[in-house]
Copies of this chain bind each other. A is one copy, B any other.
Amino acid sequence: MQRPEPEPRSFDRVLSSMCTEPHPDARAAAERFLATNPGDPATYDAVADLEARAVEGLATLADHPSPGDAAGYVTSGGTEANVQAVRSARNRHDGGRGASDGSGGGGRALNVVAPASAHFSFHKAAAVLGVELRTVPLDGDYRADTDAVAAAVDDATALVVGVAGSTEYGRVDPIGELAAIADEAGARFHVDAAWGGFVLPFTDHAWSFDDAPVDTLTIDPHKFGQAPVPAGGLLAREDAALDALAVDTPYLETRSQATLTGTRSGAGVAGAVAAMDALWPDGYREAAERAADNADWLAEGLADRGYDVVEPELPLVAADVPEPEFAALRDAGWKVSRTGAGELRVVCMPHVTRSALRAFLDDLDRIRR
């Protein structure tokens, strides 16, 4: 039974997504590799080779000490990468691995300490993995409050999380201080740069393997990396972080599988490599600068109109736009979303042009009349 063919989302009015229009090379590569499965490298060897290149590219961006043989893989997205980072830390914590009840071996649940700004995938990770998530308050500028983090860790803390480009306000936590707190507590340290990872190399923020003793890091090609969905990334400083995730695979011609999913997208892997080949570093630098300019321009435009604006740090603007205006913008076809506090939130992804933002403000002016 044929029904009318729906249209995929055009990105013209999408201001709410952390995904974007893929680079043309990335789209072409993804189309070629649609029917491959990097989860079965013995059968799909070409895409397995590509995955090694993707990991090397991501590790280069994230200043891994040896990008050529960094531990990592292309995940379905930031959620899988974050869940796996929590799982690895749980398994590596003293007594954690093999304790089938997810406890530290002594019957006490392990915990993960993360700022309140951490992505909801950490809540999902805690629910899935049977660990306690301790979210701690932010400072006055939406960053992790290091005193609160220090007060929350204890010897059952398996992981401390720092966010480098938060989902709601685009903030970068004090990565060096958080790493030091984790180290003192005997916990692993994870940086969630899922969205920020392809922008941060062109800023002065501390976020990478080179900036602090980061154990694991999430960095997603299908966000600012301009790869097609699904292509997230998990990197680890040491092989042991991935080894702690390995489950035996009896019938595949490979020994074990460290991924959370089984079959994975060859399109995502091939698209990620093609995007990085085309854009690293100059194309990404230009995209990051353009996005930053757009965010500043939008923030100023909203402030000029009298809204309370959260000053952008990475290219994400939040502003206190009242609910009726927000609803009218959505009715006008703008895909916008809200922070937990109810602010309008605009993510200045590569597909978000200055003229689109101009049209957005024009619509807002029309609505306010």
Query: Measuring CB to CB, which residues of chain A are less than 8 angstroms from any residue of chain B?
Result: 1-3, 6-9, 11, 14, 16-17, 19-22, 27, 30-37, 39-40, 42-47, 49-50, 53, 76-80, 83, 87, 99-103, 107, 109, 120-121, 123-124, 126-132, 167-168, 220, 222, 228-230, 232, 247-253, 257, 260-268, 270-271, 277, 335, 337-340, 345
CA distance A248 to B124 in the complex (A): 9
Give the residue of B34, B50, B337 whose beta carbon is less than 8 angstroms from that of A228. B34
**In the complex, which of the residues A20, A78, A80 has the most CB atoms of chain B within 10 Å of its own CB atom?**
A80
User: What are 15 A-B contacts with C-beta separation under 8 Å?
Assistant: A8-B270, A17-B40, A19-B35, A27-B34, A30-B34, A39-B77, A79-B261, A80-B262, A99-B130, A100-B130, A101-B102, A124-B260, A127-B247, A168-B251, A230-B261
CB contacts (< 8 Å) of A46 on chain B: these are 6-9
A37-B17 contact given A109-B101, A251-B339, A277-B1, CB 8 Å threshold: yes
Q: Which residue of B lies closest to A121 (CB)?
A: B262
Provide the bound-state CA to CA distance between A222 and B129, in Å: 27
Q: Are B232 and A263 in contact (CB under 8 A)?
A: yes
In the complex, how many angstroms separate the beta carbon of A304 from the nearest chain B beta carbon?
25
Residues B22 and A35 in contact, CB atoms below 8 Å apart: yes
Shortest CB-to-CB span from A258 to chain B, Å, is 10
CB distance from A4 to the nearest CB of B (A): 11
Tell whether, in the assembled complex, residue A265 and residue B167 are in contact, meaning their CB atoms are under 8 Å apart: no
Please report the C-alpha to C-alpha distance between residue A107 and residue B31 in the assembled complex, in whole angstroms. Answer: 49
Whether B21 and A79, one on each chain, are in contact in the complex, defined by CB atoms closer than 8 angstroms, is: no
Give CA–CA (A260, B340) in the complex, Å: 22
Quick check: B124 and A247 within 8 Å, CB to CB? Answer: yes
Instruction: Tell me the nearest residue of chain B to A17, going by C-beta.
Output: B43
Q: For the complex, give the distance between the alpha carbons of A300 and B165 in Å.
A: 60
> Closest chain B residue to A53 by CB distance?
B3
Contact at B78–A263, with CB atoms within 8 Å? Answer: yes
Q: Is A77 in contact with B14, judged by CB distance below 8 angstroms? A: no
Residues of B within 8 A of A250 (CB): 120, 168, 339-340
**A317, chain B: closest CB distance, angstroms:** 14
Chain B contacts for A77, CB-based, 8 A: 39, 261-264
By the criterion CB–CB under 8 Å, are B124 and A266 in contact? no
Report whether A43 and B27 are in contact in the complex, using a CB–CB cutoff of 8 Å: no
Chain B residues, Cβ within 8 Å of A228: 34-35, 267
Contact status B230-A123, CB under 8 Å:
no
Cβ-defined partner of A109 (8 Å) among B36, B100, B339: B100
The 6 closest A-B pairs by CB, nearest first: A79-B262, A77-B263, A102-B130, A6-B46, A76-B261, A250-B340
Q: How far is the CB of A252 from chain B (nearest CB, A)?
A: 7
A120–B263 alpha-carbon span in the complex (Å): 12
- CB proximity of A337 to chain B, nearest CB, Å: 5
* Cα A44 to Cα B340 with chains together (Å): 20
Q: Given A128-B129, A263-B230, A248 and B120 touching (CB < 8 A)? A: yes
Q: With A8-B36, A42-B335, A76-B263 known to touch, is A120 a contact of B247 (CB < 8 Å)?
A: yes
Once the chains are docked, how many angstroms separate the CA of A127 from the CA of B98?
A: 8
Cβ contacts under 8 Å, A31 to chain B? 31, 34
Q: Given A35-B22, A168-B251, A251-B168, are A265 and B230 also a contact pair (CB < 8 Å)? A: yes
